[in-house]
Amino acid sequence: MTIPSVTVIGLPASGKTTFLAALWHVVSDCDPDAPIALRLQNLKSGDVAHLNSIASRWREAKEQERTTLGGNHLVSMNLQDVGGNSVVVSFPDVEGEAYDRIWEDRECSELIEPFLKSTGVILFIHADKIVRPRWIAEEMALEALMNGPAAEAEGEQIPMPDAEMLAPLAVEPQNWEPKFAPTQVKLVDLLQVLRRPPLDIGPRKLAIMLSAWDKVEAEGRSPDQWLRESLPLLHQYLHSNADEWDIEIFGVSAQGGDYDSNTDAVEPRPAAAELRMQDRPADRIKLIEPTGGDSKDITRPIAWLMK
C-alpha cells in the first residue's frame, strides 16, 4: 500500500517557510502532550541545520529571510498519526519562484515535477499580499485626482474625471508581462496545470491555506467567505469543480503576529516581544478550520489530506 504524499506549494512570499518553521518546531518537539494530529517519523531529505535555523528564528519571533534560489532546499519528512498511518510531506523548491516560472515561462522545473504528482496538495496564499485586478478607468481616475485640483472640504464627493482632466495625464504605454497578472489568475492557472498532463494524476485533495490570517481576521469572515470576496475567480474555479478538486479552505497564522525585522536599522516590534514571552511557542499558532472552529494544531490540514 502506497504512503500518501502531500506537497506544499505557493507563490513567493506566501508563507511556506514560516509554516515549515512552525511545523518543524511542532513535530520535532519532544512534548508528548502537544495537541497535534501528526508527529515526525523521520526526515527523508533536507538540511537539519537549515530546519533548525528557521525554527529557531520562528521561536525568536524574527522574520524569516526569503528563501534564495540557490542551493537545494528540498525538505521531505514522514509524519505519522496515532494509528501509525504515515504520510510524506514535501516542500519542493521552498522559494516560490518555481511556481512563478510555471505561470510566466510555462516551464516546470524537473526538480519539483515529481512532487507535483502527490496525492494531496497544500496551496499557500498570503491573505495580506493579494495582487488584485486593476481597472484602467479606476486607476486613471485615481491618478487624476491625486494630481488635479485640490479636493474640496471633507465629505464632498469627488467627481469622476472627464476627458479634459485626463488629457495631460497620457502616459507611455507599458508592455504587459505575465508577472503583472493578478494573484488569482496565477493560482487558477497553477491548479489547472496540475490537472493536465504530464502532472495530472486524476482527482485529488487540495487544502487552501490562507496564511497571515491574523492580518484579515478582524474582517470577521470565514476562510471560504474571504476567498469568495478577495479571490472570486479562484473561488469560482474551485466551487464549479470542473477539475474535480476535493477542497478544504483553512486560515492559518503560523506567526501569531508581527515579527522583528532582520534589518538592524528597524526597531524591534512590541508584538514580537510579547510572542517571545509565551511559554510555549506553539501556542502562537492559530488554525481556522473550514467549519469555523480554530485550533493550535498546524498538522490538521495534512491529516485531512492523508485520509
Partner 1 sequence: MTHNGPIVLQHMLHGYDDGHRLLASSVKLEQADMKTMLRLTDSSGPGIRSDADSYVTGYPLPLSGCFALAKTWPAPELPRPGCVWTHSLLIDFADLAVIGDFAILLESFVRPSGEERTYYSTPKLIDVESLPRPASWDPEEARQALAALYMHPGNRVLMPRVDTGPLDGLVLAIWSQQWPRLRRSFRFCTNAVTDRSGESNAFDFQLVDPSQGVLRSRFPKGHLAEEIEQPAPVWLELAVRDLMAPNRDGLRQFLRQIGGDVQGGREAFPYLTQLHADLLAQEDNFSALSNAIDLLTNELASVEATTIRSNVVNNAVHHVAALDDAGIDFLIIHLDLISRPAAQNKVLGQELMQRAPNRFLELLNGKGTGRSAAESAFSSIPLDRALNFAEDYPTSLRALVQIRTDWAESSTFWTRKSVATAKMLASAKVATSDHLGILGALLAADRIDLVPDALDSFGSRLVLKAIIPLVDKRGADSQIKPWLNCAVKDISAVSETLAAAESSVPRTLEVIARLIHPDDVVNDVGEDPWLAACRGAEPKETDLFLLSFLLARALGSQSQSQAELAVLGFTAIHDATARGQLRDECWSMFATRLPTSLFGFDWDRCWRLRTGLIDMFLERRLSPETFAFANFNDELFFSLAHWAKRSKQGEDFLKSVHEILKTSDKIDRTDELARILR
Where does this chain bind partner 1 (CB under 8 A)? 11-13, 47, 49, 53, 63-71, 95-97, 100, 105, 131, 179, 261-265
Give whichever of 272 and 288 is closer to partner 1, judged by the CB atom: 272
- Under a CB-based contact definition with an 8 Å cutoff, are residues 216 and 133 in contact? no
Tell me the residue type at 41. Q
Q: Could you tell me where the DSSP H helices lie in 60-211?
A: 97-104, 136-147, 163-166, 183-194
Sign of CA dihedral 184, 188, 189, 190: positive
Give whichever of 63 and 297 is closer to partner 1, judged by the CB atom: 63
Give whichever of 49 and 153 is closer to partner 1, judged by the CB atom: 49
Q: How far is the CB of 179 from partner 1 (least distance, A)?
A: 6
Q: How far is the CB of 10 from partner 1 (least distance, A)?
A: 11
Q: What angle do CA 104, 105, 110 make, to 5 degrees?
A: 120
Residue 80 contacts by C-beta under 8 Å, 6 or more apart in sequence? 38, 39, 40, 41, 86, 87
Q: How far is the CB of 278 from partner 1 (least distance, A)?
A: 23
**294 SS3 class:** strand
Give whichever of 71 and 270 is closer to partner 1, judged by the CB atom: 71
Give whichever of 33 and 177 is closer to partner 1, judged by the CB atom: 177
Length of the chain as a residue count: 307
Task: Give how far Cα 305 sits from Cα of 11, 204, 233, 245, Å.
Answer: 20, 9, 24, 12
Q: Could you tell me where the DSSP H helices lie in 29-66?
A: 48-59
Element (H, E) at 275: helix 270-276
Q: How far is the CB of 190 from partner 1 (least distance, A)?
A: 14
- Under a CB-based contact definition with an 8 Å cutoff, are residues 125 and 187 in contact? yes
Residue 116 corresponds to which cell in the numbers above?
Answer: 507535483
Give whichever of 48 and 137 is closer to partner 1, judged by the CB atom: 48
Give whichever of 129 and 195 is closer to partner 1, judged by the CB atom: 129
Bond preceding residue 92 cis, omega within 30 of 0: no
Q: How far is the CB of 49 from partner 1 (least distance, A)?
A: 5
Q: How far is the CB of 74 from partner 1 (least distance, A)?
A: 13
Q: How far is the CB of 138 from partner 1 (least distance, A)?
A: 21
Phi/psi of residue 239, nearest 5 degrees: -80, -25
